[in-house]
Amino acid sequence: MTTMHQTRRDILKGGLAVAGLSMFGVPDWALPVLAQGETLVPFTDIPDNVRWEVPPDRRTLDLRTIDGPFTPKEKFATTQHYGHPDVDPATYKLKVTGLVNQTKSFSLDDLKKMGGKELIAGFECSGNRGPLNSLCGNGRWTGVPLKTVLDAAGVKTNAKEFVFFGADHGQEEIEWRTQKFTLEQNFGRSLPREKALSPEIFLAYALNGDPLTKHQGAPLRLLVPGYYGVCNVKWLQHIHLQEDAYLGRFQARWYRTLRGEMIDGEMMWKETSVTHMNLKSFIARVTKTGSQYKVMGVVLNDGTPIKSVEVKVDDGQWQMATMDPMTKEKYGWKFFAYNWTGATPGDHTLISRVTDVNGKVQPTAQENETKKSFLEENSQAPRKVKIA
């Protein structure tokens, strides 16, 4: 509680002066920290054994502590497969090889000279799911567009697949028919040519104005805005351009979604690689000021503009929530708020759903039932609270 008040003061001191927004008739939830006299209504669905931090390298975001549009670096969720590699920024090089006119090697300074651009992007691990939805965040990243770097190397016309490797590596067992090979592999992900050369793909060296931390992939990481976390290769050290599809473990095997779809009256089972983020909203916290209850939540998607968010209490009607005017960036996460009137003592279930401008509605858990793996879990997610 104290830290939240602290944060509010810090934000106000820091000049993010949005406190005056109420002058323009915007509800004061626009600054999503606990105001004077505001208290958290307890969730009753948080597992007893929850661990927000698993040192040395894992951390999840407790949504109740969101205190502004950008997630501070020390709170940014972090996860990876091979632990944190040691990369010395002084000797660091980004190699660009394969189907380029000229093999290139860039130091961090070289990249900074080409950079200085900003990208605001929401972040979500494809394993992020309810009730806690704690593998997400929102960052203001500084760096250089990938295309600038690729243009410096010169992309050949037959380069179809762009593979991004981190400095982290491990022994992977690769099965082929009756054979098993154990081979050293670096973490790798790929993008098709058209996506890789689109202007928004980004190489970031800073988060919220500070150099990347080791957790966030220092000194350089890939960012594919609107795509799930796994696509954003940390400790990026090598980009390889090739003609053939890349089928590495984290591209083609681990980060796969198995989903049944009715096509022309028949169930088709599709296996797809995790790419763009699916339309999703979830409740972050419920607070109380006097007798007023407020529900605050988060929207994440692939950048398609949002039409509306609705909130439902128990078996009531869907009610329109208000979108936060401070969180409007195309790829950034967005906040919504709902004034919960008529809240009564006891246990309640709250749920939210978002609709985008194309009329796509966040699916119910039932509609997502033919999705067999837990990745890309974007169903409407209930939260349980108890009012004293």
Ligand X SMILES: Nc1nc2c(c(=O)[nH]1)N[C@H]1C(S)=C(S)[C@@H](COP(=O)(O)O)O[C@H]1N2
Closest by CA position to 325, among listed 334, 316, 333, 317: 334
Of residues 119 and 230, the one with the C-beta less far from Mo ion = 230
Q: Which of 47, 37, 149, 56 is nearest to 102 (CA)?
A: 149
Cβ closest to ligand X, residue 77 vs residue 309: 77
Give the contacts of 322 (CB within 8 A, at least 6 positions apart).
Answer: 27, 29, 336, 337, 338
- Is 147 a binding residue for ligand X by CB under 6 A? The answer is no
- Residue 277 or 385 with smaller CB distance to Mo ion: 277
- What length does the chain have? 388
Among 73, 104, 140, 215, binds ligand X (CB under 6 A): 215
Q: Compute CA distances 159 → 94, 153, 189, 203, whole Å.
A: 18, 12, 16, 19
208 lines the binding site for ligand X (CB under 6 A): no
User: In this structure, are strands 256-263 and 221-223 parallel, antiparallel, or unpaired?
Assistant: unpaired
Which tokens hold the place of 208? 């919220």
CB of 146 to Mo ion, least distance (A): 20
Binding-site residue total for Mo ion (CB under 5 A)? Answer: 3
Does 125 bind Mo ion (CB under 5 A)? Our answer is yes
Please give, one letter per residue, the 3-state secondary structure of 263-328: ECCEEEEEEEECCECCCEEEEEEEEEECCEEEEEEEEECCCCCEEEEEEEECCCCCEECEECCCCC
**Dihedral angle at the C-alpha atoms of 364, 365, 369, 375, nearest 10 degrees?**
110
Q: Classify residue 163 by burial, with Cβ atoms within 10 Å: 0-12, 13-18, 19+.
A: buried
| Binds ligand X by CB under 6 A, chosen from 233, 277, 311, 350 | 233
Q: Which amino acid is at 9?
A: R
Using the rule CB under 6 A, give the single segment among 8-16, 29-37, 233-241, 314-322 that binds ligand X: 233-241
Q: How far is the CB of 300 from ligand X (least distance, A)?
A: 13
215, interface contact from ligand X, Mo ion, none, CB < 5-8 Å by kind: ligand X
**Residue 229 beta carbon to ligand X: minimum distance, rounded to whole angstroms:** 3
Report the SS3 class of residue 350.
strand
363 CA to centre of own chain = 19
192 touches 224 (CB < 8 A): no
Could you give the C-alpha distances from 136 to 167, 273, 284, 300, 369, in angstroms and in order? Answer: 23, 20, 11, 9, 23
Asked if 234 is part of the footprint of ligand X (rule: CB under 6 A), the reply reads yes
Structure-block tokens of residue 264: 């022309």
Cβ atoms of 145 and 201 closer than 8 Å: yes
Q: Are 296 and 29 in contact (CB under 8 A)?
A: yes
- Which of Mo ion, ligand X, none sits in contact with 166, Cβ below 5 to 8 A by type? ligand X
In the complex, what is the shortest distance from the CB of residue 53 to Mo ion, in angstroms, rounded to a whole number?
17
For the CB of residue 80, give the shortest distance to ligand X in the complex, in Å: 3
Which residues, numbered 69-128, are part of the site for ligand X (CB under 6 A)? 76-82, 125
Minimum distance of ligand X from residue 19's CB (angstroms): 30
Q: How far is the CB of 214 from ligand X (least distance, A)?
A: 10
In the bound state with ligand X, the residue whose beta carbon lies nearer, of 233 and 284, is 233
Nearest-approach distance from CB 137 to ligand X, in angstroms: 7
**Residue span 154-173 as binding mask against ligand X, x where in contact by CB under 6 A, dash where not:** ------------x-x-----
By the rule CB under 6 A, 206 interacts with ligand X: no
By CB under 5 A, tell whether 166 contacts Mo ion: no
Residues within window 212-231 making contact with Mo ion, judged by CB under 5 A: 229-230
Q: Does 133 bind ligand X (CB under 6 A)?
A: no
Taking residues 37 to 76 in sequence order and writing x for each that binds ligand X by CB under 6 A, - otherwise, the string is: ---------------------------------------x
Among the listed residues 235, 246, 335, 336, the single contact to ligand X using CB under 6 A: 235
Contacts to Mo ion by CB under 5 A: 125, 229-230
Contacts to ligand X by CB under 6 A: 76-82, 125, 166, 168, 187, 215-216, 229-230, 232-235
